[in-house]
Structure 1
Amino acid sequence: MTQTRFPRGVLFDLDGTLLDSAPDMVAAINLMRAERGESPMPLADLRPHVSKGARAMIRATWGHFDEATRESMVKPFLDTYERELGKHCTLFDGIAEMLDALEADGVRWGIVTNKPYYLAEPLIPMLGWADRCGVLIGGDSLDERKPHPLPLLHSAEVIGIAPESIVYVGDDERDIVAARAAGMPSIVALWGYRLAEDDPVAWNGDVMIEDPKTLLDPTAWPLAPAALPA
């Protein structure tokens, strides 16, 4: 049987999957560097670290500092990033069209990110998704965060779709681990942020996709046999 429809539900990671947020984060890093009289860091040097979070960004920038010093910089970084939120980021090419295609087929979709909720939530209206995104879970929304499956399973309950009928899309290994533990088919977003040593093949996602535009084709999406649409 040819798959002519999209999965009934889709959950996405945010940074590196839907949103190219690296420019916002690098802007925050460079504002901090300017305050310290340091030269700016190139976007290309920091971009691979974005999906790993604030501490990874700080470590990549100030790796010569001891751990306690770097930890003391986390809150100033997050405060600076909050001021830069949404000023420089863009959707990855093809994401807007893909979301339109999903919605045209009646798909419910939402976002499960490890970004703190207070930093993720303001982006939703900025991106025009306030009435479109069915659920938003941040890294601090529940007692567990990815790679634990709880955020994905909770989101499935919120949008009212069985986990096996939902596909999770993410650019980090913990996304794929969480999806597998939740019983959801997964897509590795190869267009996202990865370190040179990352091996996405080893993550054992169901499908690896290079370009979001590929997902305009329903046959590109993985589905568990029980979830195949009639």
Structure 2
Amino acid sequence: MIKAVIFDFDGVLFNSREVQRKALNESYRLVVKNGQPSFEEFLSHSGDSIFNILKKMGLPEEMAGYYLGLIKENAGGVKIYDGINELLDQLRRDGFRLAICTGRDKKSTMQLIDMNSLNDYFDVIVCADDVLYPKPNPQILNQAVGQLDMVKESCVMIGDSCNDLICAKNAGVKSIAVGWGDTSEEVLKQQKPDFFVRSPEELYECIKGRELLLSVNY
């Protein structure tokens, strides 16, 4: 029986795509000067920390400070997805424990939580700078489960990236992939999530039964 729902942040709760694109391009311009980084490659590493993403892309570590500053400066451009407030209300009313498990840094995560008055929804928030090893390493999800004081069998991870789904698999936690984020349905299904949903309304219907089968259900 599912008792706790653990959400990724960007691409699941919030649409930050354009703010991330602009922050990546501007931080690249400030440090590298010429050319433009691949935003598609950047998105393929979603869920990991900005420091690890830059390293994987072969980009200068110096970009991270500029990137994080630009993300904070342009937080007003990050919008909560339609239907998410209603989803969180419904899950809370139904008695589910809620958590966030994100590759974002703590400061920018809490900034958006505060700006959108979401503080009362979440029991636990674990960010990339709370752990040594971000997604897809299971440490960040294991920490969230531990802080919720739940067994893994009672939890489900909601994600929009391959790293989210791999993290859940590595942690032994059920997963639901969402189709409104930054990764295509085809790519997500290659990771064999337990469920795939296309809207917050469908996500609620999937969760509220509290019994998620281990077989793939699309």
TM range (shorter): 0.7 to 0.9
The aligned residue for residue 102 of structure 1 is 91
- Unaligned regions of 5+ residues in structure 2, if any? none
Query: For 1:29 and 1:180, how far apart are their aligned partners in 2?
Result: 29
8 Å contact from structure 1 (residues 137, 151) kept in 2: yes
- AA of the residue aligned to 2:2: P
Change (3 A) 1:18 1:51: farther
The aligned residue for residue 69 of structure 2 is 79
CA RMSD of aligned residues (A): 3.3
- AA of the residue aligned to 2:11: G
8 Å contact from structure 1 (residues 9, 167) kept in 2: yes
Change (3 A) 1:9 1:208: same
Deviations 1:63-98 (A, max 9, x none): 9xxx45x4433322222222112x111111221111
Deviations 1:167-219 (A, max 9, x none): 100011111111122221100112110269x7212101100111122123246
- AA of the residue aligned to 2:12: T
Q: Give me the TM-score of the superposition, normalised by structure 2.
A: 0.79
The aligned residue for residue 20 of structure 1 is 15
Equivalent residue runs for 1:59-208 within 5 Å: 67=58, 70-85=60-75, 87-194=76-183, 199-208=187-196
- Unaligned regions of 5+ residues in structure 1, if any? 1-5
Q: Give me the TM-score of the superposition, normalised by structure 1.
A: 0.75
Query: For 2:95 and 2:4, how far apart are their aligned partners in 1?
Result: 9
Larger Rg: 1
Identity %: 25
* Residues matched between the structures, number: 206
Change (3 A) 1:73 1:166: same
8 Å contact from structure 1 (residues 165, 223) kept in 2: no
Per the TM alignment, residue 143 of structure 1 is displaced from its structure 2 partner at its CA by 2.0
Query: For 1:195 and 1:215, how far apart are their aligned partners in 2?
Result: 17
Per the TM alignment, residue 30 of structure 1 is displaced from its structure 2 partner at its CA by 6.0
